[in-house]
Amino acid sequence: MPDFAYQLQLSNKRRTVQLLIRNGAVIVRAPKSICRQWLQSWLQQKQDWVYKTLAVQPEAAPICWLTRPTVLLGGKALAYQWSLAKKSGLARTEQAVTLYLAERISKKRYPFYLQKLWREYLTTEAEQVFGQLVTDYAAKMQLQPKAIIIGDWRSRWGYCKQSGELGFNCRLMQAPLWVARYVVVHELAHLRHMNHSAAFWQLVQAFEPDYQAAKAWLNKHQHELLA
Protein backbone atom coordinates (compact mmCIF):
# COMPACT_ATOMS: atom_id res chain seq x y z
CA MET A 1 0.00 0.00 0.00
CA PRO A 2 1.48 3.37 -0.98
CA ASP A 3 1.78 6.04 1.71
CA PHE A 4 -0.68 8.40 0.02
CA ALA A 5 -4.47 8.34 -0.08
CA TYR A 6 -6.09 7.70 -3.43
CA GLN A 7 -9.43 6.96 -5.06
CA LEU A 8 -9.51 3.74 -7.10
CA GLN A 9 -11.86 3.65 -10.10
CA LEU A 10 -12.22 0.22 -11.74
CA SER A 11 -13.79 -0.43 -15.14
CA ASN A 12 -14.41 -3.51 -17.28
CA LYS A 13 -13.81 -1.42 -20.40
CA ARG A 14 -10.43 0.00 -19.38
CA ARG A 15 -7.26 -1.74 -20.57
CA THR A 16 -4.60 0.55 -19.11
CA VAL A 17 -3.76 2.12 -15.74
CA GLN A 18 -4.03 5.89 -15.36
CA LEU A 19 -2.77 7.97 -12.44
CA LEU A 20 -3.93 11.58 -12.17
CA ILE A 21 -4.37 14.31 -9.59
CA ARG A 22 -7.35 16.67 -9.59
CA ASN A 23 -8.11 19.34 -7.00
CA GLY A 24 -5.64 17.81 -4.58
CA ALA A 25 -7.11 14.29 -4.90
CA VAL A 26 -5.15 11.31 -6.27
CA ILE A 27 -7.22 9.21 -8.70
CA VAL A 28 -6.24 5.80 -10.07
CA ARG A 29 -8.16 4.34 -13.01
CA ALA A 30 -7.53 0.69 -13.80
CA PRO A 31 -9.07 -2.44 -15.38
CA LYS A 32 -11.38 -4.32 -13.03
CA SER A 33 -9.29 -7.47 -13.49
CA ILE A 34 -5.98 -5.84 -12.51
CA CYS A 35 -3.69 -7.64 -10.04
CA ARG A 36 -3.98 -5.63 -6.81
CA GLN A 37 -0.50 -6.62 -5.65
CA TRP A 38 1.01 -5.34 -8.90
CA LEU A 39 -1.01 -2.13 -8.63
CA GLN A 40 0.17 -1.47 -5.07
CA SER A 41 3.79 -2.00 -6.12
CA TRP A 42 3.36 0.28 -9.15
CA LEU A 43 1.78 3.04 -7.06
CA GLN A 44 4.58 2.81 -4.52
CA GLN A 45 7.04 3.53 -7.34
CA LYS A 46 5.03 6.65 -8.22
CA GLN A 47 5.13 8.15 -4.70
CA ASP A 48 7.79 10.78 -5.42
CA TRP A 49 5.85 12.03 -8.44
CA VAL A 50 2.61 12.12 -6.45
CA TYR A 51 4.14 14.13 -3.59
CA LYS A 52 5.79 16.60 -5.99
CA THR A 53 2.55 17.07 -7.94
CA LEU A 54 0.44 17.51 -4.81
CA ALA A 55 2.87 20.16 -3.58
CA VAL A 56 2.16 22.42 -6.56
CA GLN A 57 -1.55 21.68 -7.03
CA PRO A 58 -4.23 23.89 -5.50
CA GLU A 59 -6.17 22.10 -2.78
CA ALA A 60 -9.83 21.22 -3.16
CA ALA A 61 -12.31 23.80 -1.93
CA PRO A 62 -12.40 23.50 1.87
CA ILE A 63 -15.54 22.69 3.81
CA CYS A 64 -17.12 25.80 5.32
CA TRP A 65 -16.75 25.50 9.08
CA LEU A 66 -19.33 28.24 9.59
CA THR A 67 -22.18 26.30 7.97
CA ARG A 68 -21.29 22.58 7.83
CA PRO A 69 -24.02 20.44 9.45
CA THR A 70 -21.94 17.51 10.70
CA VAL A 71 -18.44 16.29 11.53
CA LEU A 72 -17.17 12.74 11.20
CA LEU A 73 -15.80 10.99 14.29
CA GLY A 74 -15.18 7.29 14.75
CA GLY A 75 -16.92 6.65 11.44
CA LYS A 76 -20.12 8.31 12.66
CA ALA A 77 -21.58 11.64 11.52
CA LEU A 78 -22.18 13.85 14.55
CA ALA A 79 -24.27 17.02 14.55
CA TYR A 80 -22.03 20.10 14.47
CA GLN A 81 -22.50 23.64 15.70
CA TRP A 82 -20.37 26.49 16.96
CA SER A 83 -20.84 29.62 19.05
CA LEU A 84 -18.91 32.45 20.67
CA ALA A 85 -17.74 32.20 24.28
CA LYS A 86 -15.31 33.83 26.68
CA LYS A 87 -12.65 31.34 25.65
CA SER A 88 -12.18 28.79 22.87
CA GLY A 89 -12.94 25.14 23.49
CA LEU A 90 -14.81 22.02 22.42
CA ALA A 91 -17.70 20.05 23.89
CA ARG A 92 -18.70 16.60 22.70
CA THR A 93 -21.59 14.25 23.39
CA GLU A 94 -22.47 10.92 21.77
CA GLN A 95 -24.55 12.74 19.14
CA ALA A 96 -22.98 16.17 18.70
CA VAL A 97 -19.87 18.35 18.72
CA THR A 98 -19.88 22.04 19.64
CA LEU A 99 -16.91 24.31 19.04
CA TYR A 100 -16.54 27.53 21.03
CA LEU A 101 -14.60 30.53 19.75
CA ALA A 102 -13.23 33.25 22.00
CA GLU A 103 -15.13 36.50 21.46
CA ARG A 104 -11.87 38.40 20.89
CA ILE A 105 -11.24 36.54 17.59
CA SER A 106 -12.00 38.60 14.48
CA LYS A 107 -14.86 37.36 12.26
CA LYS A 108 -12.67 36.79 9.21
CA ARG A 109 -10.59 34.34 11.27
CA TYR A 110 -13.54 32.25 12.46
CA PRO A 111 -13.15 29.45 9.84
CA PHE A 112 -9.41 29.12 10.52
CA TYR A 113 -9.81 28.82 14.28
CA LEU A 114 -12.79 26.46 14.07
CA GLN A 115 -10.78 24.09 11.91
CA LYS A 116 -7.76 24.53 14.20
CA LEU A 117 -9.83 23.58 17.26
CA TRP A 118 -11.05 20.43 15.52
CA ARG A 119 -7.56 19.39 14.39
CA GLU A 120 -6.20 19.91 17.90
CA TYR A 121 -8.96 17.71 19.30
CA LEU A 122 -8.24 14.98 16.73
CA THR A 123 -4.53 15.15 17.54
CA THR A 124 -5.15 14.76 21.28
CA GLU A 125 -7.44 11.80 20.64
CA ALA A 126 -4.94 10.27 18.21
CA GLU A 127 -2.09 10.46 20.71
CA GLN A 128 -4.06 8.32 23.15
CA VAL A 129 -5.62 5.90 20.67
CA PHE A 130 -2.55 5.23 18.55
CA GLY A 131 -0.33 5.08 21.60
CA GLN A 132 -2.43 2.25 23.01
CA LEU A 133 -2.90 0.46 19.67
CA VAL A 134 0.82 0.51 18.91
CA THR A 135 1.65 -0.78 22.39
CA ASP A 136 -0.87 -3.62 22.08
CA TYR A 137 -0.01 -4.72 18.55
CA ALA A 138 3.74 -4.27 18.86
CA ALA A 139 3.62 -6.80 21.70
CA LYS A 140 1.43 -9.19 19.71
CA MET A 141 3.65 -8.91 16.62
CA GLN A 142 6.86 -8.99 18.68
CA LEU A 143 8.10 -5.72 17.19
CA GLN A 144 9.73 -2.70 18.83
CA PRO A 145 8.96 0.73 17.36
CA LYS A 146 11.23 3.52 18.57
CA ALA A 147 8.86 6.49 18.45
CA ILE A 148 5.31 7.51 17.51
CA ILE A 149 4.54 10.77 15.71
CA ILE A 150 1.03 12.17 15.21
CA GLY A 151 0.66 14.48 12.21
CA ASP A 152 -1.96 16.18 10.05
CA TRP A 153 -1.32 15.32 6.40
CA ARG A 154 -3.43 15.47 3.26
CA SER A 155 -1.50 12.79 1.36
CA ARG A 156 -0.88 9.81 3.67
CA TRP A 157 -2.41 7.86 6.54
CA GLY A 158 0.85 6.87 8.17
CA TYR A 159 4.49 5.98 7.67
CA CYS A 160 7.29 3.80 8.99
CA LYS A 161 10.95 4.84 8.91
CA GLN A 162 13.90 2.48 8.99
CA SER A 163 14.87 4.13 12.28
CA GLY A 164 11.76 2.59 13.83
CA GLU A 165 9.73 5.81 13.92
CA LEU A 166 6.03 5.40 13.13
CA GLY A 167 3.73 8.23 12.08
CA PHE A 168 -0.07 8.36 12.04
CA ASN A 169 -2.53 10.88 10.62
CA CYS A 170 -4.74 12.48 13.27
CA ARG A 171 -7.58 12.54 10.72
CA LEU A 172 -7.89 8.78 11.14
CA MET A 173 -9.78 9.53 14.36
CA GLN A 174 -12.70 10.33 12.07
CA ALA A 175 -12.65 6.71 10.83
CA PRO A 176 -13.96 3.65 12.70
CA LEU A 177 -11.52 2.20 15.23
CA TRP A 178 -11.05 -0.98 13.20
CA VAL A 179 -9.78 1.13 10.28
CA ALA A 180 -7.25 2.93 12.49
CA ARG A 181 -6.22 -0.46 13.84
CA TYR A 182 -5.45 -1.67 10.33
CA VAL A 183 -3.18 1.32 9.69
CA VAL A 184 -1.30 0.52 12.91
CA VAL A 185 -0.80 -3.11 11.87
CA HIS A 186 0.23 -1.96 8.38
CA GLU A 187 2.93 0.40 9.62
CA LEU A 188 4.16 -2.01 12.29
CA ALA A 189 4.52 -4.71 9.62
CA HIS A 190 6.95 -2.41 7.80
CA LEU A 191 9.35 -2.78 10.73
CA ARG A 192 9.86 -6.34 9.54
CA HIS A 193 9.24 -5.89 5.80
CA MET A 194 10.11 -2.44 4.43
CA ASN A 195 8.14 -3.19 1.26
CA HIS A 196 4.76 -4.46 0.10
CA SER A 197 5.82 -8.01 -0.70
CA ALA A 198 3.67 -11.12 -0.30
CA ALA A 199 5.38 -11.72 3.05
CA PHE A 200 4.38 -8.22 4.18
CA TRP A 201 0.70 -8.73 3.36
CA GLN A 202 0.73 -12.17 4.98
CA LEU A 203 1.94 -10.54 8.20
CA VAL A 204 -0.75 -7.85 7.99
CA GLN A 205 -3.45 -10.45 7.38
CA ALA A 206 -2.27 -12.56 10.31
CA PHE A 207 -3.07 -9.73 12.72
CA GLU A 208 -5.80 -7.91 10.77
CA PRO A 209 -7.73 -10.48 8.68
CA ASP A 210 -10.23 -7.88 7.41
CA TYR A 211 -7.56 -5.45 6.19
CA GLN A 212 -9.08 -5.35 2.69
CA ALA A 213 -12.31 -3.94 4.14
CA ALA A 214 -10.33 -1.26 5.98
CA LYS A 215 -8.50 -0.28 2.79
CA ALA A 216 -11.82 -0.10 0.95
CA TRP A 217 -13.30 2.12 3.67
CA LEU A 218 -10.37 4.54 3.45
CA ASN A 219 -10.61 4.72 -0.33
CA LYS A 220 -14.35 5.40 -0.15
CA HIS A 221 -14.22 8.04 2.60
CA GLN A 222 -10.84 9.68 2.02
CA HIS A 223 -12.36 12.95 0.78
CA GLU A 224 -14.39 13.32 3.98
CA LEU A 225 -11.36 12.62 6.16
CA LEU A 226 -8.97 14.84 4.23
CA ALA A 227 -11.31 17.81 3.70
pLDDT digits (tens, 9 = 90+) for 166-211: 999 999 999 999 999 999 999 999 999 998 899 999 999 999 999 9
Report pLDDT for 164: 93
- Does residue 65 sit within a domain? no
Band the pLDDT of 156: cuts 50, 70, 90.
Answer: confident
Under DSSP, is residue 102 helix (H, G, I), strand (E, B) or coil? strand
Number of C-beta neighbours around residue 30 at 10 A? 22
At residue 62, the pLDDT reads 58
The reported pLDDT for the residue numbered 59 is 53
pLDDT at 4 over 80: no
Mean pLDDT of 116-145: 96
- Tell me how many domains the chain contains: 2
pLDDT tens-place string over residues 68-93? 899 999 999 999 999 999 999 999 99
194 in any annotated domain: yes
Residue-wise pLDDT for 101-110, tens only, equals: 999 999 889 9
24 versus 133: the higher-pLDDT residue is 133
Closest alpha carbon to 44 in 206, 200, 185 = 200
Give yes or no: residues 15 and 84 share one domain: no
Determine the Cα–Cα distance for residues 165 and 3; give it in Å rounded to an integer.
Answer: 15
Say yes or no: 129 and 23 in one domain. Answer: no
Helix axis angle for 36-45 and 47-56, nearest 10°, is 60
Specify the higher pLDDT residue, 19 or 138: 138
Q: Provide CB contacts within 8 A for 60, sequence distance 6+.
A: 23, 24, 25, 223, 227
Domain range for 163 is 70-226
In this structure, the answer to whether residues 86 and 145 fall within a common structural domain is: yes
How does residue 58 score in pLDDT terms, banded at 50, 70 and 90? low
C-alpha 25: how far from chain center? 13
Tell me how far apart the alpha carbons of residues 137 and 192 are, in angstroms, rounded to a whole number. 13
Q: Which residues contact 200 (CB under 8 A, 6 or more apart)?
A: 189, 190, 192, 193
Q: Is residue 205 part of a domain?
A: yes
For residue 72, the one-letter residue type is L
Taking the alpha carbons at both ends of the chain, their separation in whole angstroms is: 21
How far apart CA 3 and CA 140 sit, in angstroms, is 24
pLDDT at 188: 97
Q: Are residues 19 and 107 in the same domain?
A: no
The predicted pLDDT at position 37 comes to: 86
Asked if residue 63 is part of any domain, the answer here is no
In a domain, 62, yes or no: no
* CATH code of the domain in which 196 resides: 3.30.2010.10
Average pLDDT of the residues in 53-60: 61
Q: How far apart are CA 203 and CA 71, in angstroms?
A: 34
Residues 113 and 78 in one domain: yes
